[in-house]
Amino acid sequence: MFNKTRIAALLAATLLPGVPASADKPTSAAQVDYTKMTPTELTEYLIFEANGFKLDQPAQEGKTARERMTQDELQKTCSALRGKPADAATAQKVAELARDSHVYPEGGIKLGDWKKGRGLAREGAGFRLGPKVDDNTKKLGGNCYACHQMDPKEITFGTIGPSLSGFGKLRGNTPETQKYVYDVVYNAHAYFPCTNMPRFGANGFLNKDQITDVMAYLLDPESPVNL
């Protein structure tokens, strides 16, 4: 684990407080002994203390880039796996964290508009910071096609996630399936701990209505995903 006190001690001994290190000047390496740090400590130091990132840039979710770089509990836990599948204890812990995050629409989950869902599945902009900050007023999307096959007629789809072609036809458009799809888009870690899939709802990438639209794109019998 990253030890804040230890870094702070190293810093206090070497750097003047409040003076940001420059990327070009031989400050940090010469004054702080990187070889005495664990890889985790050094990584955190390079990100937060050695002018590694533009941390003060405002982010569209109302916070700053610093919060973007700061890991939450789930991110920390999953990063520690180093790409390996989650062990039982990790899986249980992450799934619990995820279940606690689910928030449902008032009045229950209802199928949204599959056409809007299609737009959200195709569009990939939103939330990118520097150097080119996304214009977040338009073209915001979940970019589902980056990782999933959906409409079988669409030829450019990614394969990081499983194919979702014919998903509704296969699983049925039942209340149970609707809740399952809503949950997975909102925070998939409840079912797949430490999945690669972003927490679209829990992280505010898509709002609740948008999630029901994506849900409709997958489940509505009229949607091209199921034709």
Taking the complex as a whole, how short is the minimal distance between the CB of residue 109 and other proteins, in angstroms? 23
Dihedral over alpha carbons 101, 107, 109, 114 (to 10 degrees): -120
Is 110 a binding residue for other proteins by CB under 8 A? The answer is no
Determine the Cα–Cα distance for residues 69 and 63; give it in Å rounded to an integer.
11
Residue 5 or 159 with smaller CB distance to other proteins: 159
Report whether 164 contacts 225 (CB < 8 A).
Answer: yes
Determine the Cα–Cα distance for residues 217 and 163; give it in Å rounded to an integer.
14
Query: What is the per-residue binding string for other proteins in 129-168, x denoting contact by CB under 8 A?
Result: xxxx-x----x-x-x-xxx-------xxxxxx--------
Is 14 a binding residue for other proteins by CB under 8 A? The answer is no
Query: What is the per-residue binding string for other proteins in 51-90, x denoting contact by CB under 8 A?
Result: xxxxx-x---x---xx-xxxx--xx--xx-xxx-------
Determine the Cα–Cα distance for residues 40 and 6; give it in Å rounded to an integer.
12
Residue 127 or 191 with smaller CB distance to other proteins: 127
3-class DSSP assignment, residue 34: helix
Choices 88-96, 167-175, 198-206, 211-219 (CB under 8 A): range interacting with other proteins = 198-206
211: which residues sit within 8 A by CB, 6+ positions away? 112, 182, 185, 186, 200, 201
Q: What are phi and psi of 158, to 5 degrees?
A: -85, 170
3-class DSSP assignment, residue 108: coil
List interacting residues with other proteins (CB under 8 A). Answer: 23-24, 26, 28-30, 34-35, 37, 39-40, 42-43, 46-47, 50-55, 57, 61, 65-66, 68-71, 74-75, 78-79, 81-83, 122-132, 134, 139, 141, 143, 145-147, 155-160, 196, 198-199, 203-205
